[in-house]
Amino acid sequence: MIAVSKTNTGLVRTVNEDALLTDGPELFAIADGMGGYAGGEIASVETIKVLKEEKKNFAGLTGEALCTALKEAASKANSHLRSLVCKMPDYEGMGTTLVAVYLAKDKKAYALNIGDSRLYLWRNGLLKQITQDHSYVAELLSKGDITTDEARRHPQRNVILRAVGADEGLDSDVFSFETEPGDRLLLCSDGLSDMAADDEIAAVLKEENTEKAADALIELALNNGGRDNVSVILIDFCAEEI
């Protein structure tokens, strides 16, 4: 397995509120602090810290037990951020998305998702979004009220409906899927997915070299305007490792 992580502040923002975790060969994650809110950078970094600390509780687990452990880790991160706000009221309103994947001993990938950072699967030349965005625009799209192109340009495309730290309770998506030889997983913040259509991302992923592909994804977002922080983690599976 080969894993590469990249992040860039972008062309507009002055602070990078994305935080990345590559604790391989099992755990990978991206948290995107809520832009425009106090403490967005703190929210993402602290959430990643909690997830990293919780990794020890995932060891040896599979199936429903692992799904439960991942949900509990997200809930602990949520409680941690809420406690920070109690100590530092200036950070009221801070929060972060979180997308993570844990590669378990049963050869399955377990995904954890809150917000609109994404997990994609690239398989046999086809790109598929594995996670579901928790955003206002995603709801409009699912109802057929707007098209995919309209969603990327929608003025409220950054309004997310779930975030770590936003509320006392946290609803997180956790699920598993099979991996195959030659698969490539892409985790990204919306700094990529808002700036590039899926077909543009898919075209970049034709590059077989993992490092070059990751660099090209960052470059794609910047060339398309780079309005936000952009972060990617690429995970390539070799045949002998599945």
Exposed, middle or buried: residue 9 (CB in 10 Å: 0-12, 13-18, 19+)? middle
Residue 164 contacts residue 96 (beta carbons within 8 Å): yes
Q: Over range 209-229, report the average pLDDT.
A: 97
Q: Over range 23-50, report the average pLDDT.
A: 90
Q: Over range 23-46, report the average pLDDT.
A: 89
Q: Is the pLDDT of residue 70 over 80?
A: yes
Question: pLDDT grade, residue 242 (50/70/90)?
Answer: very low
Q: Over range 201-220, report the average pLDDT.
A: 98
Residue in the structure block whose two tokens are 């998305």: 97
Tell me the whole-structure pTM to 2 decimals: 0.93
Q: pLDDT value at position 216?
A: 98
Percent residues over pLDDT 70 in the chain: 93
Q: Is the pLDDT of residue 36 over 80?
A: no
Q: pLDDT value at position 24?
A: 83
Q: Which of 31-45, 57-71, 95-109, 216-230 has the lowest mean pLDDT?
A: 31-45
Q: Over range 89-108, report the average pLDDT.
A: 94
Q: pLDDT value at position 239?
A: 66
* Interval 177-188: pLDDT, tens: 999 999 999 999
Question: pLDDT grade, residue 148 (50/70/90)?
Answer: confident
Residue in the structure block whose two tokens are 């898919």: 202
Q: Which of 11-25, 110-124, 149-163, 215-229 has the lowest mean pLDDT?
A: 149-163
* Domain residue extents for the chain: 2-241
Pick the CATH number of 2-241 from 3.20.20.10, 3.30.1490.20, 3.20.20.140, 3.60.40.10: 3.60.40.10
Q: Over range 203-209, report the average pLDDT.
A: 97
Please enumerate, as own/partner, the contacts of 152-161 that have beta carbons within 8 Å and a separation of 24 or more: 152/194, 152/197, 157/194, 158/35, 158/190, 158/194, 159/135, 160/34, 160/97, 160/115, 160/116, 160/133, 160/134, 160/135, 160/136, 161/134, 161/135, 161/136
Q: Over range 120-131, report the average pLDDT.
A: 97
Q: Is the pLDDT of residue 241 over 70?
A: no
Q: pLDDT value at position 143?
A: 72
Exposed, middle or buried: residue 149 (CB in 10 Å: 0-12, 13-18, 19+)? exposed
What is the 3 state secondary structure string of 74-91? HHHHHHHHHHHHHHCHHH
